[in-house]
């Protein structure tokens, strides 16, 4: 894509700026732990089936002392969706042309006491325009304080925009981040929203506040737990839960499917997978 309309340009710029601030915050934590780890960035380009440019993105991954593997990706892509897949995307059944820009983050931690986390926010255009995303906490060894603080911070972001937002979007997260074949939730929840359309300015403001809430609370939780001692049994529990995380992302996650169906960068799409996991 060579041209962005003002809404598309504003959304893209925000997601990229949020990426930069999150990565800086995570690098600062590594420095506090005595690590010189940093993000390695890999730009990638996407071509449409007809050979025309279809946008691209940047895959950012850091492997450190605190963050065993964290990926923070941004992408901005456009083109036309496959006919059958287009029918499953909001507004694309009428016209398969699309535009999408967003940030996607997954952190798998070295210390089992530090919860893994996912955060993603995005802006999509078909015949409709909407924001979606959210954040959820995935602790191998849950602490009620961490769960409460994470939810409380997201609730503040929600309450500023709609009295019913937190109730709706936290329930949506519980419903969405669920592994039917195991009959368990992926973690301790958070918020999830999609197809938030209508007032661009209001919905964009909410999406920015979700990003700010994540950037505020998650580093606090990491610092709270990253120095705790852990056992081999603790790590075994973490690896088992990582396996469930991988199952969800490969079988049920909408973002993974969207990336694969639209010809995205495979390494960027699958950066959400843990560096090590166990099954049975």
251-271 tens-digit pLDDT: 998 888 888 888 788 888 888
Residues in the chain: 280
The answer to whether residue 39 sits within a structural domain is yes
- Catalytic, 181? Answer no
User: pLDDT digit string (tens) for 72-130?
Assistant: 999 999 999 887 887 888 888 889 999 999 999 999 999 999 999 999 999 999 999 99
CATH number for the domain spanning 50: value is 3.40.1500.10
User: pLDDT digit string (tens) for 160-172?
Assistant: 999 999 999 999 9
- CB-based contact 169:158 (threshold 8 Å): yes
The answer to whether residue 264 sits within a structural domain is yes
Percent of the chain past pLDDT 70, that is, above it, reads: 99
The answer to whether residue 92 sits within a structural domain is yes
The answer to whether residue 278 sits within a structural domain is no
Comparing CA positions, the residue from 89, 115, 113 lying closest to residue 259 is 89
The answer to whether residue 277 sits within a structural domain is no
Q: What is the mean pLDDT of residues 182-195?
A: 96
The answer, yes or no, to whether residue 58 has pLDDT greater than 70, is: yes
How big is the CA angle at 133 (ends 114 and 61), to the nearest 5 degrees? 50
pLDDT band at 2 (very low <50, low <70, confident <90, very high): low
The conformation of residue 81, written as its DSSP 8-state character, comes to -
The answer, yes or no, to whether residue 150 has pLDDT greater than 60, is: yes
The answer, yes or no, to whether residue 1 has pLDDT greater than 60, is: no
- Select which of 118, 161, 181, 185 is catalytic: 118
Count of domains in the chain?
Answer: 1
Residue-level pLDDT at 131:
98
- For residue 133, list its beta bridge partners: 121, 193
Q: Residue 80, Cβ neighbours under 10 Å: how many?
A: 16
Average pLDDT over the chain, rounded to whole? 95
The answer to whether residue 261 sits within a structural domain is yes
- CB-based contact 119:105 (threshold 8 Å): yes
The answer to whether residue 280 sits within a structural domain is no
Residue-level pLDDT at 268:
84
Residue-level pLDDT at 83:
77
Q: Where are the alpha helices (DSSP H) in 6-161?
A: 6-32, 83-86, 144-159
For 236, the domain range is 6-272
The answer to whether residue 46 sits within a structural domain is yes
């Amino acid at each position: 894509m060579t041209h962005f309309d003002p809404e598309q340009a504003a959304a893209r710029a925000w997601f990229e700026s949020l990426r930069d601030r999150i990565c800086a915050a995570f690098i600062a934590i590594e420095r506090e732990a005595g690590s010189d780890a940093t993000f390695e960035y890999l730009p990638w380009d996407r071509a449409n089936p007809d050979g025309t440019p279809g946008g691209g993105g940047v895959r950012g991954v850091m492997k450190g002392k605190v963050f065993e593997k964290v990926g923070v990706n941004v992408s901005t892509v456009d083109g036309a969706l496959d006919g059958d897949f287009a029918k499953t995307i909001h507004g694309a059944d009428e016209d398969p042309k699309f535009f999408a820009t967003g940030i996607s983050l997954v952190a798998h931690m070295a210390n089992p006491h530090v919860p893994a986390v996912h955060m993603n926010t995005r802006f999509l255009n078909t015949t409709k325009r909407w924001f979606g995303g959210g954040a959820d906490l995935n602790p191998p060894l849950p602490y009620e304080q961490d769960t409460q603080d994470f939810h409380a911070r997201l609730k503040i972001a929600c309450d500023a925009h709609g009295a019913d937002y937190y109730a709706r979007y936290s329930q949506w997260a519980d419903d969405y981040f669920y592994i039917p074949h195991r009959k368990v939730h992926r973690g301790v929840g958070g918020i999830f929203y999609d197809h938030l359309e209508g007032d661009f300015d209001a919905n964009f403001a909410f999406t920015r506040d979700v990003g700010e809430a994540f950037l505020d609370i998650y580093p606090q939780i990491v610092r709270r737990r990253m120095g705790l001692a852990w056992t081999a049994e603790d790590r075994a529990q973490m690896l088992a839960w990582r396996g469930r995380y991988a199952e969800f992302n490969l079988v049920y996650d909408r973002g993974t499917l969207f990336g694969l169906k639209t010809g995205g960068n495979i390494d960027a799409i699958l950066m959400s997978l843990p560096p090590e996991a166990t099954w049975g």
